[in-house]
């Protein structure tokens, strides 16, 4: 009897595992999809936090000068940074964070997660929309590695300058300041840059998948990092591990 119970329990366990593996991206919950986008092997979040406004200080009125963070006043006409411009922008009196979501858009699980978030947001999904989303998921990225960056913040005044940097950038301005770097130090630079448009995918850095007729990345690469310097204040630096990028028995990046 004990042996029979053990066999039945084992069968139920294997059945549960099998059913779990059959779950497709169309069945993911919003939280499951967002985890892949923001905290997974294919999607990471770099958060920059400004703590200069955490201590309450009264905001002085007047238009002749702008208050500095040390309490002094800048001369008339001086341009101050956003977090120090308490008169024009208003004080926050709290820490403000800007989140940079850095995703391997050329990896299928990222595209699946993005499409799942979109379908969940839709009150009703037409067949045309579903077919369009599926086409995007199935798109072939065999020639390119695409890194997408989106931005969000609890205070738009802080994210606006960063968003503007991505909106105004071109391949000419990022071709030497953005790159993928393997663990052995070899780098590849973008061949194309696409500024954000109204598609929810963010800014796109497009790199060649093959360099000198070889795959730039493979199982033996160990890891690689995405580095991007949009300006002296905005630098992104995240690392992806090749051993974590296996998806349905295939490397996805």
Task: Please report where in the chains the tokens 């400004």 appear, as a residue.
Answer: 50
CB 106 within 8 A of CB 42: no
Q: Which residues lie below 8 Å from residue 123, measured CB to CB, with a gap of 6+?
A: none
Out of 77-81, 187-191, 196-200, 218-222, least confident range: 77-81
Whether residue 1 is predicted with pLDDT greater than 60 in this model: the reply is: no
Full-model pTM: 0.76
Query: Which two three-digit tokens encode residue 229?
Result: 């310097």
> Any alpha helices (H) in the chain, and if so which ranges?
2-21, 30-38, 86-89, 108-121, 127-137, 156-168, 171-174
For residues 246 and 87, which has the higher predicted lDDT (pLDDT)? 246
Percent of the chain past pLDDT 70, that is, above it, reads: 74
4 confidence band (pLDDT: 50, 70, 90): very low
The chain-wide mean pLDDT, for the chain, equals 81
> Phi, psi at residue 16, to the nearest 5°?
-65, -45
Cα–Cα dist 210/105, whole Å: 17
What pLDDT score does 55 carry? Answer: 53
Percent of the chain past pLDDT 90, that is, above it, reads: 59
What pLDDT score does 22 carry? Answer: 62
What pLDDT score does 9 carry? Answer: 45
- Please work out, in degrees rounded to the nearest 5, the angle formed at the alpha carbon of residue 180 by the alpha carbons of 99 and 222: 100
Whether residue 142 is predicted with pLDDT greater than 60 in this model: the reply is: yes
Classified as helix, coil or strand, 102 is strand
Q: Which residues lie below 8 Å from residue 53, measured CB to CB, with a gap of 6+?
A: 83, 91, 92, 93, 94, 95, 96
For residues 55 and 172, which has the higher predicted lDDT (pLDDT)? 172
pLDDT for 150-161, tens place per residue? Answer: 999 988 888 999
Q: Is 64 left (phi over 0), alpha (psi -120 to 50) or beta?
A: alpha
Q: What is the mean pLDDT of residues 186-214?
A: 96
177 confidence band (pLDDT: 50, 70, 90): very high
Out of 66-75, 145-154, 161-170, least confident range: 66-75
What pLDDT score does 53 carry? Answer: 61
Whether residue 12 is predicted with pLDDT greater than 70 in this model: the reply is: no
Cα–Cα dist 217/184, whole Å: 11
Whether residue 62 is predicted with pLDDT greater than 70 in this model: the reply is: no
CB 183 within 8 A of CB 241: no
Task: Please report where in the chains the tokens 């690689």 appear, as a residue.
Answer: 224
Q: What is the mean pLDDT of residues 131-136?
A: 85
96 confidence band (pLDDT: 50, 70, 90): confident
Whether residue 238 is predicted with pLDDT greater than 70 in this model: the reply is: yes
122 confidence band (pLDDT: 50, 70, 90): confident
């Amino acid at each position: 009897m004990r042996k029979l119970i053990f066999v039945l329990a084992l069968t139920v366990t294997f059945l549960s595992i099998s059913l779990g593996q059959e779950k497709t991206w169309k069945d993911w919950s919003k939280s499951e999809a967002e985890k892949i986008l923001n905290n997974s092997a294919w999607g990471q979040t770099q958060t920059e936090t400004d703590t200069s406004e955490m201590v309450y200080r009264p905001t002085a009125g007047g238009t002749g000068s702008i208050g500095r963070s040390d309490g002094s006043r800048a001369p008339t006409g001086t341009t101050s940074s956003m977090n120090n411009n308490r008169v024009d922008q208003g004080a926050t009196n709290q820490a403000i964070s800007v989140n940079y979501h850095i995703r391997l858009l050329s990896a299928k699980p990222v595209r699946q997660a993005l499409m799942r978030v979109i379908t969940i947001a839709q009150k009703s999904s037409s067949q045309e929309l579903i077919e369009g989303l599926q086409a995007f998921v199935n798109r072939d990225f065999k020639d390119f590695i695409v890194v997408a960056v989106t931005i969000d913040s609890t205070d738009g005044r802080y994210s606006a300058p960063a968003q503007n940097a991505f909106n105004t950038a071109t391949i000419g301005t990022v071709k030497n300041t953005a790159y993928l770097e393997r663990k052995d130090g070899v780098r590849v630079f973008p061949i194309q840059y696409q500024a954000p448009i109204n598609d929810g995918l963010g800014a796109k850095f497009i790199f060649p998948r093959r360099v000198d007729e070889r795959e730039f990345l493979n199982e033996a690469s160990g890891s690689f990092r995405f580095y991007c310097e949009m300006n002296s204040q905005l630098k992104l630096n995240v690392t992806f591990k090749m051993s974590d990028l296996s998806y349905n028995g295939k490397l996805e990046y």
